[in-house]
Structure 1
Amino acid sequence: MAHLYLDGRNVAQSKLPAAFPVPGGVIEVAKSRFGIKRCHYVATDGTEHQLVPDPASAEGRRARLDRDHPAVSHLIGWLSIIMLVIGLGLNLLQLLEPISRIPPIAESAGTFASPLHLPIWLNLALALGAALGSIERALRLRYHWLLDAGGN
């Protein structure tokens, strides 16, 4: 649920995705599996502005880290992207092999032999890293359809 507050009072709530009509436009809120992916004010003329998160929220604490320690924040941001790309790439590469063995697919496209066969502990570590990367991106209110689509 999304809750809209005005002067500390809860004035509206809605299931997500939500659109709250406000003077001069609408506030749009959407989430992914890992957190907020969109929280924007859209004016009637079509201009959009990302809203500032509540300082007490996880998103607000992540914004404070970005403001107070930009180098650390930048490093964490790049690590989250790297973890997502590596996790996505390696897991897709390994997933193609069993999918290509499905009879109709094998008959029409042939089979694929993955050059990688990672141990289960490494696959789990990559999945955990990708999940942490998605959470970090959600806390920064960053969303990209390719990197974060698993978190829709």
Structure 2
Amino acid sequence: MIEDWRQRRAAKRIKSGDGRALAPFRWWQLPFRALFHLPLPHGDGRQTVYAVDIPRRTDPDGGKARAHLYVDGEHHAESKLPAAFPVAGGTIDVAVSAFGLKRCHYVTAAGVERRLIPDPKSAEGRRARVTREHPTLSRSISFLSVLMLLVGVGLNLLQLAEPISKIPPIADSIGVFESPVRLPIWLNFALAVGAMVGSTERALRLRYSALDHAGK
């Protein structure tokens, strides 16, 4: 029931496309654009190529980011995010976080999911190439991104717990918590930046969890 409601809401956000051609990805668009592809074969040997183009900017009219669906290179539809585009055999689900994409998946009618293929020139595509060509380096980067998140979020939560515990109803109930960690402002700022960098790196791999949400 919840899934049906979500699909109905997503359908209301979809607008028809204008048929314009899909613009190629340019290197200078790395910070400003994400582009993913989904080739789906037909039984007669042909295939339809879907592309999802996500500019990293808000819509000037509605204040929300939009995703654009292209079919065989032509603009077919657009939607405010989160989006669920009906395509052959299922839907393409797209969602973003504060740090980038957290979802761009093809979901079949049977519930099977797979991520779309990032354009090789995009930031997500370049990160995927590191994973393919340099798996050891990729694992090290992934480990560091999680470590930066854990350290940044963990230490900041410890320091935040003390002023929260001084609120009278909380103090009366459980007492005042004294944080064992007191960091200078510059180090707190550096930890926050590190957590943001870690979450951004994970977003390039479409990884998202409660830890990333806390890092926001």
Which TM-score band applies after superposition, normalised by the shorter structure?
A: over 0.9
Contact map agreement 1:32 1:151 (CA 8 A) in 2: no
Distance 1:92 1:80 in 2: 18
Does the 8 Å contact 1:62/1:140 carry over to 2?
A: yes
- State the superposition RMSD in angstroms: 1.3
Asked if 1:147 corresponds to 2:205, the answer is no
SS at match of 1:65: helix
CA contact (8 A) 1:34 1:151 kept: no
TM-score (norm 1): 0.94
How far off is 1:147 after superposition? 1.4
Q: Which moved more, 1:63-72 or 1:121-130?
A: 63-72
1:9 matched to 2:69: no
For 2:84, the aligned partner's letter is A
- Give how far 1:122 is off: 1.0
Distance of aligned partners of 1:53 and 1:134 in 2 relative to their CA distance in 1, 3 Å threshold: same
**Aligned equivalents of 1:131, 1:139: Cα separation in 2:** 13
Q: Of residues 132, 157, 161 in structure 2, which corresponds to 1:67?
A: 132
Long gaps (5+) in structure 2: 1-65
Partner SS for 1:64 = helix
Number of positions where the alignment pairs a residue of Structure 1 with one of Structure 2: 151
Higher relative contact order at CA 8 Å, sep ≥6: structure 1 or structure 2? 1
Which residue identity lines up with residue 101 of structure 2 in the other structure?
I
1:103-128 deviations in Å (ceiling 9; x for gaps): 12111121100001011111111101
What CA deviation, in whole Å up to 9, does each residue of 1:55-109 have, x standing for no partner?
Answer: 2221111111211221111111000000001111111001000000111211112
The 8 Å contact of residues 34 and 135 in structure 1, kept in 2 or not, is answered as: yes
After the TM superposition, list the runs of 4 or more consecutive aligned residues in structure 1 that deviate by more than 4 angstroms. Answer: none
Q: Percent identity?
A: 66
User: Between Structure 1 and Structure 2, which shows a larger proportion of helix residues?
Assistant: 1
Alpha-carbon distance between aligned partners in 2 of 1:8 and 1:64, rounded to the nearest angstrom:
24
Structure with larger Rg: 2
- In structure 2, the residue corresponding to 1:131 is in which secondary structure? helix
